[in-house]
């Protein structure tokens, strides 16, 4: 399948560092476990709707969710405007499916929401986006934690290859709710691993929203949603291939690669900050910022059980 257009938006505000407190003891406990697992000393978060005039420790826990909803609509507008007028009209009149993907599913209870409409937009499906793309075909909400976006791409590829739809729109959002961010990275550390006292650096987590329009019409971005490699069925070196010029790693914690792969590996979280399920989508942003005549990038997405999912992007400028 081909990526016809896409857009990604992140907050314009700065990073605020999480400060554990006894008032939120369980959240603070998960914060410490997450630091131990990732071997870092601190955790900075950049979120939509933060107010710098408020106390940072509380402000990053309860930002204004309306800014997050606004960003979702802005990114959909940007993806639509990136299409030519002809293709945009064709999308409106074609068989178009809509997939909304996020990490946490029904997380409205973790937001300070007073509107039933906004709860439905966060927990089920943003109907304003469905109307924006003139969707009359089936819609789908997908909750997949780290794999939400890659699973949505796999579904889109099936839809297009089976000739069920002409276009598939994926709107994906990552809400960096501290307690969910920390718990997702709470993975048991191997015995003898580096302790928190030996840790260095900090984790940087960025809220992002993205809109991606896939079709069967040829474009500069050809995408193969790839496969999953379970733990015990091989190691990461088996994902290497001669035609892969860039290996993009979408995990948060450090990962060692074989010497013959080091020169082609980039770590998306180190370049852009970690965005959970949307971190793999930063591969498209990297290729947009570093255009070349022709290149194949393989994006590797680790899970919490030592397995990997990967997908390939074949990019040709012009």
pTM of the predicted model, to two decimals? 0.90
Checking DSSP bridges between strand 246-249 and strand 265-267, what pairing results, if any? parallel
Say if residues 98 and 128 touch (Cβ distance below 8 Å). Answer: no
C-alpha to C-alpha distance for 125 and 105, rounded to whole angstroms: 10
- The yes-or-no verdict on residue 162 having pLDDT over 90 is yes
pLDDT in tens, 246-264: 889 998 877 777 777 778 8
Identify the pLDDT of residue 308.
86
Identify the pLDDT of residue 185.
87
**Polymer length of the chain:** 318
pLDDT in tens, 20-63: 888 889 999 999 999 988 889 999 999 998 887 777 777 888 88
C-alpha to C-alpha distance for 244 and 298, rounded to whole angstroms: 6
Average pLDDT, the chain: 86
Min mean pLDDT across 162-166, 224-228, 292-296 is at 292-296
- The yes-or-no verdict on residue 193 having pLDDT over 60 is no
Q: How many CB atoms lie within 10 A of CB 131?
A: 9
Q: Which residues does residue 168 pair with via DSSP β-bridges, in sequence order? A: 97, 214
The rounded percent of the chain whose pLDDT value lies above 70 is 93
Identify the pLDDT of residue 190.
56
Q: Which residues does residue 43 pair with via DSSP β-bridges, in sequence order? A: 203
pLDDT in tens, 279-309: 999 999 999 988 776 688 999 998 877 788 8
What's 167's DSSP letter?
E
Hey, what domains does the chain have and what are their CATH numbers?
Answer: 2-215 (3.40.47), 221-316 (no CATH)
């Amino acid at each position: 399948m081909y990526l016809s257009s896409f857009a990604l938006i992140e907050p314009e505000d700065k990073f605020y560092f999480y400060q554990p407190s006894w008032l939120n003891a369980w959240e603070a406990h998960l914060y410490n476990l997450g630091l131990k697992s990732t071997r870092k000393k601190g955790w900075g978060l950049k979120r939509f709707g933060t107010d710098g005039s408020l106390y940072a420790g509380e402000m990053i826990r309860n930002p204004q969710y309306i800014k997050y909803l606004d960003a979702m609509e802005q990114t959909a507008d940007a993806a639509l405007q990136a299409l030519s007028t002809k293709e945009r009209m064709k999308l409106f009149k074609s068989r178009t499916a809509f997939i909304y993907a996020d990490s946490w599913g029904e997380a409205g209870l973790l937001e300070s929401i007073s509107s039933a409409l906004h709860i439905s937009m966060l927990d089920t499906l943003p109907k304003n986006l469905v109307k924006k793309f003139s969707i009359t075909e089936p819609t789908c909400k997908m909750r997949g934690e780290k794999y939400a976006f890659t699973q949505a791409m796999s579904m889109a590829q099936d839809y297009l290859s089976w000739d069920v739809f002409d276009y598939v729109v994926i709107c994906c959002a990552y809400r960096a709710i501290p307690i969910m961010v920390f718990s997702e990275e709470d993975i048991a550390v191997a015995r003898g691993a580096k302790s928190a006292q030996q840790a260095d650096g900090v984790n940087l987590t960025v809220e992002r929203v993205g809109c991606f329009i896939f079709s069967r019409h040829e474009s500069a971005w050809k995408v193969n949603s790839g496969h999953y490699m379970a733990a015990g069925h091989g190691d990461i070196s088996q994902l290497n291939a001669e035609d892969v010029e860039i290996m993009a790693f979408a995990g948060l914690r450090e990962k060692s690669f074989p010497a013959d792969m080091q020169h082609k590996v980039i770590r998306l979280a180190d370049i852009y900050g970690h965005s959970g399920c949307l971190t793999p989508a930063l591969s498209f942003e990297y290729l947009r910022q570093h255009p070349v005549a022709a290149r194949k990038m393989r994006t590797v997405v680790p899970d919490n059980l030592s397995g990997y999912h990967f997908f390939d992007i074949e990019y040709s400028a012009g």
